[in-house]
Amino acid sequence: MDNFSGPVRQGPDTKAEVPAGGVGLCLSGGGFRAMLFHVGVLQRLNLAGRLPLLDRVSSVSGGSITAALLGLHWNQLKFTDNVATNFDDLITEPIRAFAHLKVDLPAVAAGALLPFVTISDRVVSKFKRHLYGDATLQDLPETPRFILNATNLESGVLLRFSRPYVADYKVGRVDRADVPLADAVAASSAFPPFLSPYELDLSGEQWRTEPGNEHTSAGYRNEILLSDGGVYDNLGIETVWKRCRTVLISDASGHTDADPDPARDWARGIIRVLFLLDSQVRALRRSAVVDAFTNPHDPHDGFFISTVSDLRSWPVPANRPYVDVDPAVTERLAAISTRLTTIPDEQQELLINWGFAAADAGLLAYLDADLPAVDLPYPDRPLKDGQDVRS
């Protein structure tokens, strides 16, 4: 029988019943919207001097785009008093430039029309050209541990990409796999139905079998079909919850709007069903996490912030930059498409500001009541109504 404890399923990365310590950061899916929101979260953690305190960074889908770039450049960050002074040069600006590109539709079109070219090939090509080059998992740092999560369609659980190993607790592990970073991100962000599945060829690798591995035949260890990590765990908490006592969760997955007249054709109908299923899974995960944080017997601390947070009910001093955050603006930001496609500058800056403000509120309310106030990254883009936030 499956073993559940709190908001996660038991697996080899979640063995300790009570985490001894450590700080984990979870970055959710949500396409380019999530990619940018998480940049704002990371900017606030950086200015608060908390990036060097991280032990694990776990991500799925759009969150993996940002996490992988942070991991790739981690050892180039120049820390002064625990603040990386070159964070924007290495992380913010490349992510913003990437957010001007169109990735998903051109990849789908090329994969459908060109022989010997798959959709995944085109996505990987964009990631390599604009963000990761020829870097592999072995270019990630030893510490903190960066874990990019994809859903293994064959075993039904997560396949985890990290520097020490690529692993699935039902299949086994490959130690020190030299998988290109762009491929790991493409697998993690292979959102169904158009970008999924992603095929990962590990047939030439040396697999290690451990207790609990149920599916060890070549059929499970050669060409593996993967989908978006958010299909299984859209918050990316699976590999963090039982390893870290402090868990910081950034959820940019948004919400699924009501529709008085959903499409009746099978193609659009099944997409609507997929979105509703995804929304339900996310809601259950969020509920479990919030219940755990508010349970006095649970050892964890940290915060849960999201693009749909309403900061009006949070304890905030008058000098905070998010005091005037307008829920009408943040609701529209949360409704921006989760696609991997162009987001204009104004929306980019608003999303980064929103992630920054939400992280500031989370730190202040739950971890550091004396956290000094700082300005938003883009002061000319206040989170007030009147901003252009069309999706």
Mark whether 337 is an active-site residue. Answer: no
* Mean pLDDT to the nearest integer, 298-322: 80
pLDDT at 116: 61
More confident site: 319 or 196:
196
Question: pLDDT grade, residue 18 (50/70/90)?
Answer: low
Tokens in use for 40? 């704002």
- On whether residue 227 sits in a domain, the answer given is yes
Domain count, the chain: 1
Cα within 13 Å of Cα(327), Cβ side: 6
Provide the CATH number for the domain around residue 282: 3.40.1090.10
Residue among 61, 64, 120, 306 flagged as catalytic: 61
Mean pLDDT of 303-322: 77
Report the run of H or E that residue 250 belongs to, with start and end: strand 246-251
Would you say residue 308 lies in a domain?
A: yes
Residue 209, helix vs strand vs coil: coil
In the predicted model, is pLDDT for residue 353 greater than 90? yes
First to last CA, the chain: 43
Q: Per-residue pLDDT tens for 109-133?
A: 776 666 666 888 899 999 999 999 9
228 is catalytic: yes
Q: What's the confidence (pLDDT) of residue 179?
A: 97
Catalytic residue among 13, 139, 168, 228: 228
- Does residue 374 lie in a domain region? no
Render 54-84 in DSSP notation, one character per residue.
-SEEEEETHHHHHHHHHHHHGGG--EETTEE
> Does the residue 386 lie in any domain?
no
Is 249 a domain residue?
yes
**pTM of the full structure:** 0.90
**Parallel, antiparallel or unpaired: strands 223-228 and 198-201:** antiparallel
pLDDT number for residue 267: 66
Is residue 15 a part of any domain in this protein? Answer: no
Q: What percent of the chain has pLDDT over 90?
A: 64
How does pLDDT run across 341-350, given as a tens digit for each residue? 999 999 999 9
Query: What percentage of the chain exceeds 70 in pLDDT?
Result: 84
Q: Could you tell me the two tokens for 91?
A: 């992380």
Average pLDDT on 269-287 reads: 67
For 189-231, write each residue's pLDDT tens digit: 998 777 879 999 999 899 999 999 999 999 999 999 999 998 8
Q: Is residue 3 part of a domain?
A: no
> Which domain does 308 fall in, by range?
23-367
Q: Report the DSSP pairing between strands 246-251 and 301-306.
A: parallel
* Rounded-to-integer distance, Cα 321 and Cα 332, Å: 19
Confidence band for 107, pLDDT divided at 50, 70 and 90: confident
- pLDDT bracket for residue 336 (50, 70, 90): very high
Q: Counting Cβ atoms within 10 Å, is residue 12 exposed (0-12), middle (13-18) or buried (19+)?
A: middle
Does some domain include residue 33?
yes
